[in-house]
């Protein structure tokens, strides 16, 4: 392997490999354990896949559906087997500690962005149910909402996180109903305040368009007239007014207080019939005075909806390029199951495509997934690590509650830019400074990288002369940044 240090030699090696028709000649494999040698079922130019072994499949699943491989999760998985492990993920459940103390409801109206980010990251780092967090993160990017527009001084985006985690595996229909009247969403996409009572005044179209374009059907599956019709049919829903008044200290010295209107508990949007449209609309082939439920029923009746959701979940959990026939198959099953997301996720994760050799390392870990996985691998203290991740999330490209726009995070190649990779590298360095005693690095490549390393990574790992350096190689490697 040392020969590879000099490029003419590497050239010769590669040329020879090419001549022999081996696509992955540049790969070195740590020899310490299991599933070696690799069979020939590898994609051209891709990583050699360990997915023909139970351990390989479990590690692959844990990286995609949780925040990476832990010794405990792997042992449990080997006991249960792959299928049962998927079922167990679907059953996972754990609530985060509340961010707002019931005895101090005013807190909810003073939530700082950093408090919210820290709260969620801490939950990701300490939860026994990481799949709950991964699904909540998926929906946060899909039905996305941004802190600043929702507004400082309201607990709405915090409530939204609680709602998305409750609905993480629900049926799409009820989910869309709650999404539409979620106070943070009402604020973010401007449905709140829209008014269609005067047929001559156009209502606000923002939510109506994105409901179809980004949340359910995709562009091209509806007309501009459908956008206008939905904007009319949905007008009248607004954010709930504050439901309590508390005395808040406004001057520390004199302890003077002022009464402040607050929301003391999570509420949904309220409907004002006076702002509603009183006539018939023609929406996606149905004409009438349509209610919120009827708007959603029409969307669920469209052939574009199930494949759209399947493709979005596929790109998040399986691979960047969903296969058309598999999408058809899963979309059919999704509709038959009454749009049950839990049933769809089970089918997706157990599908042959999810453990096909070419799905191995076919996805880029998002910045938050990467950082949480790194912190868990090092056994970092959750509070301190959450603070560090919150600091690096923005330069790495994924500040929670601050998506780039209404499309959420596009993922895939967009996670790979000079600025974003730099933030990942510098985070790894800062994390290693923070964690006083990381676990021994000897087995890190086995546990976290399946011992499938490129020749340069393998070489650099062998050359490392301290555990800190070994961890730095593992965490910054392309292998660890993929899933």
Partner 1 sequence: MSKQNRSLRQLERRDVLKAGLVLAAGGEALGAGYAAVPDAFARGIYAANREGLHRDQVLVMIQLAGGNDGLRTVVPLQDNRLHDLRPTLAGASVSGALELDAQVGLHSALTGIKALWDQGRVAIVHGVGYPDPSYSHFESIRVWETGDPSRRQVDGWIGRMLTRGYDSAGHPLTGCACGATSTPGMMRDVGSTVAVIQDRQSYGFAEDDLEAIVGSVYRETPGIYGALFDTTVATLRHTIAELDQALPVSQDGSDTQPSYSQSPENQLAQALKLGAQLIIAGTGVRLLHVTLDGFDTHYAEKDAHDQLIGFLDESVSGFYAELAQHGLASNVLLATWSEFGRRPGENVTGGTDHGSAAPLLLIGDPVRGGRYGREPDLGRLDGDGNLTHTVDFRSVYQEILDVHFGTDPRQILGGSFEPLPFLKAT
Please list every residue from 147 through 206 that binds partner 1, using CB under 8 A.
189-190, 193-196, 198, 201-206
Nearest residue (CB) to partner 1, 80 versus 358? 358
How many angstroms separate the Cα of 304 from the Cα of each of 50, 67, 248, 320, 345? 35, 31, 50, 19, 19
Instruction: Determine the size of the site formed for partner 1 (CB under 8 A).
Output: 79
| Radius of gyration from C-alpha coordinates of the chain | 25
Least spacing, CB of residue 96 vs partner 1, in Å: 27
Tokens of 256: 């003077």
With binding defined as CB under 8 A, does residue 476 bind partner 1? yes
How many angstroms separate the Cα of 274 from the Cα of each of 261, 339, 442? 24, 33, 68
In angstroms, the CA 412 to CA 350 distance is 22
Least spacing, CB of residue 411 vs partner 1, in Å: 11
What residues from 307 to 366 belong to the interface with partner 1 (CB under 8 A)?
320, 361-362, 364
Nearest residue (CB) to partner 1, 40 versus 413? 413
Least spacing, CB of residue 13 vs partner 1, in Å: 9
With binding defined as CB under 8 A, does residue 278 bind partner 1? no
With binding defined as CB under 8 A, does residue 396 bind partner 1? yes
How many angstroms separate the Cα of 181 from the Cα of each of 156, 215, 283, 312? 11, 14, 19, 23
Nearest residue (CB) to partner 1, 13 versus 129? 13
Least spacing, CB of residue 124 vs partner 1, in Å: 21
Least spacing, CB of residue 120 vs partner 1, in Å: 20
Least spacing, CB of residue 364 vs partner 1, in Å: 6
Nearest residue (CB) to partner 1, 266 versus 395? 395
Question: Residues 355, 57: contact at Cβ < 8 Å?
Answer: yes
Helix residue spans in 40-129 (DSSP H): 54-65, 71-80, 82-91, 113-126
With binding defined as CB under 8 A, does residue 114 bind partner 1? no
Strand partners, 341: none
3-class DSSP assignment, residue 364: strand
Nearest residue (CB) to partner 1, 219 versus 303? 219
Nearest residue (CB) to partner 1, 204 versus 268? 204
CA dihedral sign of residues 93, 378, 391, 382: positive
What residues from 444 to 473 belong to the interface with partner 1 (CB under 8 A)?
454-457, 459-460, 469, 472-473
Least spacing, CB of residue 350 vs partner 1, in Å: 23
Which residue in the set 45, 241, 259, 273 belongs to the binding site for partner 1 (CB under 8 A)? 45
Strand partners, 482: 364
What residues from 198 to 257 belong to the interface with partner 1 (CB under 8 A)?
198, 201-206, 209, 213, 219, 224, 227-228
Which residue in the set 3, 78, 324, 422 belongs to the binding site for partner 1 (CB under 8 A)? 422
Which residue in the set 128, 418, 436, 437 belongs to the binding site for partner 1 (CB under 8 A)? 418
Q: By CB under 8 A, which span of 14-22, 80-88, 151-159, 378-386 interacts with partner 1?
A: 14-22
With binding defined as CB under 8 A, does residue 394 bind partner 1? yes
Which residue in the set 30, 282, 326, 430 belongs to the binding site for partner 1 (CB under 8 A)? 430
Tokens of 227: 């956008």
In angstroms, the CA 333 to CA 347 distance is 9
Question: Residues 457, 477: contact at Cβ < 8 Å?
Answer: yes
Least spacing, CB of residue 454 vs partner 1, in Å: 6
Question: Residues 215, 143: contact at Cβ < 8 Å?
Answer: yes
Nearest residue (CB) to partner 1, 245 versus 405? 405
Least spacing, CB of residue 36 vs partner 1, in Å: 17
Which residue in the set 26, 162, 246, 282 belongs to the binding site for partner 1 (CB under 8 A)? 26
Residues in the chain: 483
CA dihedral sign of residues 249, 255, 256, 259: positive
With binding defined as CB under 8 A, does residue 395 bind partner 1? yes
Q: By CB under 8 A, which span of 57-65, 88-96, 101-109, 395-403 interacts with partner 1?
A: 395-403
Q: By CB under 8 A, which span of 92-100, 266-274, 334-342, 423-431 interacts with partner 1?
A: 423-431
Nearest residue (CB) to partner 1, 19 versus 97? 19
Least spacing, CB of residue 398 vs partner 1, in Å: 9
Least spacing, CB of residue 297 vs partner 1, in Å: 24
Which residue in the set 406, 435, 444, 449 belongs to the binding site for partner 1 (CB under 8 A)? 406
- Verify cis geometry, omega within 30 degrees of 0, for the bond prior to 364: no
**Which positions ≥6 away from 85 have C-beta within 8 Å?**
58, 61, 76, 77
**214 CA to centre of own chain:** 16
Which residue in the set 323, 429, 443, 462 belongs to the binding site for partner 1 (CB under 8 A)? 429
Question: Residues 345, 313: contact at Cβ < 8 Å?
Answer: yes
Question: Residues 317, 354: contact at Cβ < 8 Å?
Answer: yes
Dihedral pair phi/psi, residue 27, rounded to 5°: -85, 135
Tokens of 329: 């198959």
Helix residue spans in 143-196 (DSSP H): 147-150, 156-166, 172-180, 183-188
């Amino acid at each position: 392997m040392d020969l590879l240090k000099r490029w003419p030699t590497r050239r010769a090696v590669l040329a020879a490999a090419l001549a022999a028709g081996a696509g992955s000649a540049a790969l070195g494999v740590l020899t310490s354990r299991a599933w070696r040698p690799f069979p020939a079922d590898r994609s051209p130019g891709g990583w050699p896949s360990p997915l023909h072994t139970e351990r390989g499949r479990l590690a692959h699943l844990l990286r995609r559906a949780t925040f990476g491989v832990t010794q405990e999760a792997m042992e449990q998985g080997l006991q249960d087997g792959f299928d049962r492990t998927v079922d167990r993920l679907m059953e996972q459940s754990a609530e985060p500690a509340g961010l707002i103390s019931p005895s101090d409801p005013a807190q909810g109206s003073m939530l700082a962005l950093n408090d919210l980010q820290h709260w969620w990251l801490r939950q990701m780092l300490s939860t026994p149910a990481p799949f709950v967090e991964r699904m909540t993160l998926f929906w946060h990017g899909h039905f996305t909402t941004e802190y600043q527009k929702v507004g400082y001084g309201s607990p709405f985006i915090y409530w939204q996180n609680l709602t998305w985690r409750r609905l993480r595996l629900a049926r799409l229909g009820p989910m869309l109903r709650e999404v539409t009247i979620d106070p943070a969403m009402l604020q973010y996409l401007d449905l709140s305040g829209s008014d269609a009572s005067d047929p001559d005044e156009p209502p606000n179209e923002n939510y109506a368009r994105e409901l179809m374009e980004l949340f359910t059907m995709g562009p091209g599956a509806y007309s501009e007239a459908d956008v206008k019709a939905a904007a009319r049919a949905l007008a009248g829903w607004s954010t709930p007014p504050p439901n309590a008044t508390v005395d808040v200290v406004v001057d520390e010295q004199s302890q003077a207080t002022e009464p402040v209107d607050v929301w003391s508990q999570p509420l949904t949007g309220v409907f004002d019939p006076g702002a509603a449209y009183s006539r018939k609309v023609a929406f996606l082939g149905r004409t009438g005075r349509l209610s919120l439920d009827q708007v959603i029923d029409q969307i669920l009746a469209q052939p574009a909806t199930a494949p759209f959701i399947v493709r979005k979940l596929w790109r998040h959990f399986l691979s960047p390029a969903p296969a058309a026939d598999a999408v058809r198959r899963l979309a059919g099953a999704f509709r038959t199951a009454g749009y049950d997301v839990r049933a769809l996720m089970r089918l997706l994760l157990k599908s042959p495509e999810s453990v096909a050799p070419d799905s191995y390392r076919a996805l880029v870990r998002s910045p938050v997934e990467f950082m949480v996985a790194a912190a868990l691998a090092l056994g970092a203290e959750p509070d301190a690590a959450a603070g560090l991740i919150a600091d690096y999330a923005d330069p790495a490209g994924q500040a929670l509650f601050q998506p780039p726009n209404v499309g959420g995070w596009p993922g895939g190649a967009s996670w790979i830019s000079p600025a974003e990779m730099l933030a990942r590298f510098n985070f790894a360095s800062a994390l290693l400074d923070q964690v006083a005693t990381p676990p021994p690095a000897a087995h890190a490549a086995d546990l976290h990288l399946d011992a499938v390393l490129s020749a340069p990574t393998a070489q650099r790992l062998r050359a490392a002369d301290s555990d800190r350096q070994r961890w730095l190689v593992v965490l910054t490697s392309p292998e660890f940044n993929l899933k």
